[in-house]
Structure 1
Amino acid sequence: MPASSVTPSPATPPPAPTRPAAAPPTAAELLDFARRTAADQALVESLPLDPEGRTWVRLDGPGGSEAWLIGWPPGTGTGWHDHAESFGAFATARGSLTEHSLAVRLPAGGWKTLELAEGLDRSRRLDAGTGRAFGRDHLHEVLNLSPDTHAVSVHAYYPPLPLIRRFSRTGAVLRLEQVERPEDWQ
């Protein structure tokens, strides 16, 4: 029997409508997630803290994003780095963090050393309950400058981090030092 002459019986449910793929989260949604998660005291208290080095636990982020709960011993930091083509947000859950960033878009590749122009440096302090979102190609370092207090923060990235580029900086000279892939930190 040709398919065009088949009549479905009334007992057959209609096919489920196809759902459009979920839209990726926005930077504002990632910031909202980071702030709400940072306010979850039970989760924050569950993070094991190490007096010597940072600790982290992977979280389920919204819309397929990558998220982390990170503990920062006094005096620790990330060093200068970027998040490749991912955008993201982070919020401080406990203590205080300082972010130093550069207001410049770096070339995607093909360089090892750059001389930075004057006036690109930005700095902000993020106390518990505060956070910030950032766009693609954001270059920064995050520090716990406290001499005696652990800090804890929540970070979310979309798309999940394909790599992290690590840099050293001496004055106005920025030098690419290392490229890390997910298997290096997961």
Structure 2
Amino acid sequence: MRLDGPGGSEAWLIGWPPGTGTGWHDHADSLGAFMTASGELKENSLAARLPTDGWKTLELTDDVDRQRRLGAGQGRAFGRHHVHEVLNESPDRHAVSVHAYYPPLPQIRRYSRSGRVLRLEQVERPEDWQ
């Protein structure tokens, strides 16, 4: 569920059934933050600044992978072009999270990943998810 936030920001309330996730993606030029409200989420992210446009496939170095677990009440902020995936790995517990973005999401780029190869698969715009 999308909500208008203060100062031109936007917030999303997201429910995560057991075993669900976002897949690899970024939020283009938006700054963001999210917090787990209930349950536990896992974030896999890349500690690398990727080119913003003009590529379809990149080979990642071995040291770019980061993982963190965020239980209820824990969150994190991130900058522009942050590539990550968020997962509810629980086999039987739902999770809920709150996400905030500024400016509102102009697009989401979705990626596939096979080992060290990251491939741009799709670019979504707000009309695709609202």
TM-score normalised by L of structure 2: 0.98
Pick aligned residue for 1:164 from 94, 108, 116: 108
Larger RCO (alpha carbons 8 Å, 6+ apart): 2
TM-score normalised by L of structure 1: 0.69
Q: Work out the CA distance in 2 between the residues paired with 1:157 and 1:69.
A: 12
The question of 1:129 aligning with 2:88 is answered no
Match of 1:29 in 2: none
Q: Quote the offset at 1:59 in angstroms.
A: 1.8
Match of 2:21 in 1: 77
Q: Work out the CA distance in 1 between the residues paired with 2:45 and 2:68.
A: 9
Q: Which has the larger radius of gyration?
A: 1
The question of 1:61 aligning with 2:5 is answered yes
Q: Quote the offset at 1:64 in angstroms.
A: 1.0
Q: Which runs of 5+ in 2 are unaligned?
A: none
The question of 1:92 aligning with 2:36 is answered yes
Stretches of 4+ moved more than 3 A in 1?
Answer: none
Q: Work out the CA distance in 2 between the residues paired with 1:125 and 1:135.
A: 19
Q: In structure 2, what residue type is equivalent to 1:64?
A: G
The question of 1:102 aligning with 2:46 is answered yes
Pick aligned residue for 2:119 from 175, 183, 186: 175
Q: Work out the CA distance in 1 between the residues paired with 2:7 and 2:87.
A: 28
- Cα RMSD (Å): 0.6
Match of 1:152 in 2: 96
Q: Work out the CA distance in 1 between the residues paired with 2:71 and 2:105.
A: 25
Q: Which runs of 5+ in 1 are unaligned?
A: 1-56
SS in 2 for 1:68: strand
Q: Work out the CA distance in 2 between the residues paired with 1:179 and 1:97.
A: 24
Which is richer in strand?
Answer: 2
Match of 2:55 in 1: 111
Which is richer in helix?
Answer: 1
User: Could you tell me the percent identity over the aligned residues?
Assistant: 80
Q: Work out the CA distance in 1 between the residues paired with 2:117 and 2:59.
A: 5
Q: Work out the CA distance in 1 between the residues paired with 2:78 and 2:6.
A: 16
